[in-house]
Chain A
Amino acid sequence: MSRVITISSGKGGVGKTTSTANLGTALAMQGMKVAVVDADIGLRNLDVVLGLENRIVYDLVDVVEGRCRLRQALIRDKHFPDLCLLPAAQTRDKDAVTSDDMIALTNQLRAEFDYVLIDSPAGIEAGFRNAIAGADEVLIVTTPEVAAVRDADRIIGLVEAFDKGHPRLILNRLKPRMVSRGEMMSIEDVLQILAIELIGVVPDDELIVTSTNRGEVAVLDRGSRAGRAFSDIARRLAGEDVPLTVFDDSPGLMSRIFGAFGFRARGSER
């Protein structure tokens, strides 16, 4: 049975697109058939994060308006043939698509794929509502900052109001050393405030910048701590029980930060 999962955040720039690209790739690495959909009509980005920007012929709006068939608009990934991108239109705006269009589109994708990941636009308007319209579940991305957590709280309320169940949280760009110095909110702080289930913590990692520069995703880089964290999240999505580990570059630090809160830790790795 296929699952449609929307990745949302409220605030822009917290890592929705990076999360979608990495989780999609990680699930494809597990042998799943995955479609990643860019629902940010007018501001498409998922194509460049995946390094597929040169291959776009048709887009989501072309499919919705009947200018091409779904299969013609899907772009096969460079590394994994079972991973496909449905790009957003760049020259249209969010009003080009309705919630009913998105539900019909996701139902079509369900027939072909195990997982359909939808990258939501920032904000709480029509674009966001379209992005969650066809979803079975929602993942919320936030960073440990006041503005991002505030917006996440608003989005959680809306997701529940739209009957999409309880969203799960990806805490992105955590800096364990700043947390240990009391200079950044901890996992515990954020979870206590938002009161939702955590699906994973992604440490801040400069390799995300360099891999994105190249149009590659971090999960392909075995040395990337963020990539490892996204792989773990993908395994948890698939139902595996993966202990929470935040990879940091200073050995021994992790247990100090997370041991006190009862999170299971495997020991830090470089």
Chain B
Amino acid sequence: MSFLETLFGKRTRSSDIARDRLLTVLVHDRVKLTPDMLDQLKIELSAVIARYVPAVDAGAIEVTLLRGESSDHLKADIPLRRTPHNL
């Protein structure tokens, strides 16, 4: 890593990587949500949403656990298929 890169933060410092990885691991440790449970959650979530929004793409749903300042978050990103009708 060159001095300028260090100065302008072009490359992420390994201490920041350690910190972020630790935060992610700790959220999972504390919430105790296994990958299997997370998959099941996605399937059930898409079934519920499909009742209201027909264009939901079950396979593309992303559910992630995030650590916030004062609370942890379960964040779901639910992409909808575009149909010619609603374009």
B16 touches A182 (CB 8 A): yes
B22 touches A182 (CB 8 A): no
B18 touches A145 (CB 8 A): yes
- What residues of chain A lie closer than 8 Å to B14, measured between beta carbons? 182-183
A146 touches B29 (CB 8 A): no
- Using a CB–CB cutoff of 8 Å, the interface residues on chain B facing chain A are 6, 13-16, 18-19, 21-23, 25-26, 29
A189 touches B19 (CB 8 A): yes
Interface size class of A (residues with CB under 8 A): 10 to 19
Query: Using a Cβ cutoff of 8 Å, how many contacts connect chains A and B?
Result: 37
A184 touches B15 (CB 8 A): yes
Q: With A145-B18, A189-B19 in contact, is A150–B13 under 8 Å at CB?
A: no
Q: With A150-B25, A153-B26, A154-B29 in contact, is A182–B15 under 8 Å at CB?
A: yes
A185 CB-CB contact with B under 8 Å: yes
- What residues of chain B lie closer than 8 Å to A149, measured between beta carbons? 22
A193 touches B16 (CB 8 A): no
From B6, B13, B16, B21, give the contact of A146 (CB < 8 A).
B21
A150 touches B15 (CB 8 A): no
Q: With A146-B22, A150-B22, A193-B23 in contact, is A183–B29 under 8 Å at CB?
A: no
- What residues of chain B lie closer than 8 Å to A146, measured between beta carbons? 18, 21-22, 25
Q: A149, A179, A182 — which one has the most chain B CB atoms within 10 A of its CB?
A: A182
Task: Give 29 CB contacts A-B under 8 Å.
Answer: A145-B18, A146-B21, A146-B25, A149-B22, A150-B22, A150-B25, A150-B26, A150-B29, A153-B29, A154-B29, A179-B15, A181-B13, A182-B6, A182-B13, A182-B14, A182-B15, A182-B16, A183-B13, A183-B14, A184-B15, A184-B18, A185-B15, A185-B18, A185-B19, A186-B15, A189-B18, A193-B19, A193-B22, A193-B23
